[in-house]
Amino acid sequence: MTDTLTPILTETWDLPQSWRLATYRNHGGYTGLRRALAMRPGAVIDEVKASGLRGRGGAGFPTGLKWSFIPQDNPNPKYVVVNGDESEPGTCKDIPLLMACPHAVVEGAIIACYAVGAHRAFLYVRGEVVHVIRRVRAAVDEAYKAGLLGKDILGSGFSCDITVHVGAGAYICGEETALLDSLEGRRGQPRLRPPFPAVAGLYACPTVVNNVESLASVPSILKNGAAWYTSMGTEKSPGATIYSVSGHVVTPGQFEAPLGITFRTLLELAGGVRTGHQLKFFTPGGSSTPILTAEHLDVPLDYESVAAAGSMLGTKAMQVFDDTVSVVRTTLRWVQFYQHESCGKCTPCREGSYWLVQLLKRLEAGQGQEGDIEKILDICHQVGGRSFCTLADGFVACVTSAIEHFRPEFEAGYHTPAWELLPYERSAKFTVAVPEPAPVIAPAIVEVAPAPAPEPAKPRRLGRRRGKGDAA
């Protein structure tokens, strides 16, 4: 079973001080950079194109192709921006990667800069992960001291700087144009396209925005060659990737394996559904992708196959929910997340999420009214594909797929509270004593009337969460 795993990015994660430059170099780190610097920039792009590497931020756009869009005749400076604003519920790969092996990202960013003719990269890390930010900053410092950043890198004459930027905690800033606005010091809101970032991105200059994992995959491609990379995965989705598995499995975590393995394999890697329970549903790629059920377990995890199954590979984040879970409750929590994170720029997302939360809340409380489900579906229909960016498509996907697969459970919301149908405490994996919650301070400006029925008071149960230690 462990043969399925292909530790490339995760190879050094278990080593002591895996985040140090010395550790990274001992395991072949920065040889990809050395090789890249010996090539023409165009050849580097060709190599990445040949590897078939697809962006790991969710959309799966070919990375080499993205680099080749940078107009080399544009007199403005060019920039590489690394999107480390990982915030998708269920997705947990960029943050561990940055914490355990930040040099892979630094090396990938330098190679990307060299390939597209940029001399500065910005590493945008979400603001909540302070320990990771420290690691990343320390790694950039180490790289400068070792002559891997700054002027005349490794004697090649190529100069490159990396600026680590800390976001302020907004999901929308993971959208590449909102990230650019945020990086420029503005309110993070998606921009109108065209112009695309490749033409006018950061400070209206040609800009490549790449996901952390995409860039971290580049050094190994340069080191081992495109053919090595395409030997893994499927024809259209080559290579290996990090899968995040969370929820009701025995051993949740990150698993690096080729694209194209099945959900069943992945579930087995995570030890299967917790003992005594059956799989009810799962997300293939974070909460923004339509949910799937046990019947889809043999779908291969590549972009095409998951799309054919009616969902999206997304960020390859499998959130597993067993038979104790109320799908109504889950959907509501997700939509509440999106309502909170909607930037407010466009009407369908802002108002649609606001409306859906109210309808789902009363379904959860068993106070739904006949026709609510049709209304929810129609609202989703009015939002989907009509909003400014794809944030709204994310909550539409989880709502419509949940109703598609579990409509009777939503219909039960017309008369039975979800917590009676599926008592919430049964789905908790751990129990811990929680002190009385602090009083909720009502927002000063927005007075929204309370939902029809508040959730009954019951002991809150929280999952245990433990970091890997943050002594960077």
Partner 1 sequence: MSEPSVEATDLVTLTIDGTDVSVPKGEMVIRAAEQLGVAVPRFCDHPLLDPVAACRACLVDVLDAGNGRPMKPQPACALEVAPGMKIATAASSQVARDMQSGILEFLLINHPLDCPMCDKAGECPLQNQAVSHGPLESRYDGAKRRFPKSLPLSALVLLDRERCVLCQRCTRFSEQISGDPLLALVERGAKSQIGAGPGCAYDSYFSGNVVQICPVGALTSADYRFQARPVDLASTPTTCENCAAGCALRTDARHYAVKRRLAAPDPSVNDDWNCDKGRFAFRSGHLDDRLTTPLIRRGTRLEPASWPEALDAAAQGLMKARRSVGVLPGGRLTHENALAYSRFARAVVGNNNIDFRARAISEEETTFLTWLATRKNPDWVDYRALDAAKQVVLVCLEPEDECPMIFLRLRKAWRRRGLPVTTIAAYASRGSHKMGARLRATRPGTEASVLRGMADAGQLDAGTIVLLGERAALAPGLLSEVARLADDAGLRFAWVPRRAGEMGALQAGCLPGLLPAGHSVADDKAKIELAAMWHMPIPDSPGLDTQAMLEAAAAGSLSALLVGGVEPADLRDPALAHRAFGKAYTISLEQRVSEVTQLADVVFPVALLEEQEGTFVNWTAEARSVGLVNPQAVAPMPDVRVLSALARAMGKQVAMRNMRNPAQARAIYAELDVRRGIPAPRPSVRPGPADVPRLVLDKDVIEVTLAGWRQLLDGSRCLDGADALVATAPAPVMRLSAVTAAKVGLSAGAVATLSAGDSTWTGPVEITSMVDDVVWIPLRSVSECGRLDAQPGDRVRLGAGGAA
Q: Which residues bind partner 1 (CB under 8 A)?
A: 170, 172, 187, 189, 192, 339-348, 350-355, 358-359, 375, 381-382, 385-388, 443, 445-451
Least distance to partner 1, CB of residue 464, Å: 30
DSSP assignments along 364-400, one per residue: HTT---TTHHHHHHHHHHHHTTTSSSTHHHHHHHHHH
* Nearest residue (CB) to partner 1, 450 versus 454: 450
| Least Å from the CB of residue 379 to partner 1 | 8
Give the nearest distance from C-beta 8 to partner 1 in angstroms. Answer: 36
Among 43, 59, 35, smallest CA distance to 314 is for 59
Residue 191 CB, nearest approach to partner 1 (Å): 10
CB nearer to partner 1: give 108 or 368.
368
CB of 152 or CB of 374, closer to partner 1: 374
Q: What is the distance between the alpha carbons of residues 20 and 461, in angstroms, rounded to a whole number?
A: 37
Least separation in angstroms between CB 353 and partner 1: 7
The residue (of 434 and 448) whose beta carbon lies closer to partner 1 is: 448
Q: Which is nearer to partner 1, 438 or 445 (CB)?
A: 445
Least distance (Å) between residue 342 CB and partner 1: 4
Burial (CB count <10 Å: 0-12, 13-18, 19+), residue 304 = middle
* CB closer to partner 1 out of 190 and 258: 190
Given a contact cutoff of 8 angstroms between Cβ atoms, the answer to whether 313 and 302 are in contact is yes
| SS3 category, 223 | helix
Distance in Å, CB of 287 to partner 1, minimum: 16
Residue closer to partner 1 (CB basis): 94 or 341? 341
286 touches 89 (CB < 8 A):
yes
Beta carbons within 10 angstroms of residue 466's beta carbon: 5
**Residue at 307: amino acid letter:** A
Sign of CA dihedral 244, 249, 251, 256: negative
Beta carbon of residue 71, minimum distance to partner 1 (angstroms, whole number): 19
Question: Shortest distance, CB of residue 200 to partner 1, whole angstroms?
Answer: 13
Taking the least distance from each CB to partner 1, the nearer of 345 and 429 is 345
Please give the helix or strand (H or E) that residue 355 lies within, else none.
helix 347-364
Measured CA distances, 180 to 79, 166, 204 (Å): 11, 12, 10
Nearer to partner 1, 189 or 207 (CB): 189
Helices of type H across 57-206: 63-68, 94-100, 102-116, 130-145, 176-183, 197-200
What does the DSSP 8-state code read for residue 232? S
Strand order across the 292-293 sheet: 253-258, 240-247, 317-322, 279-283, 292-293
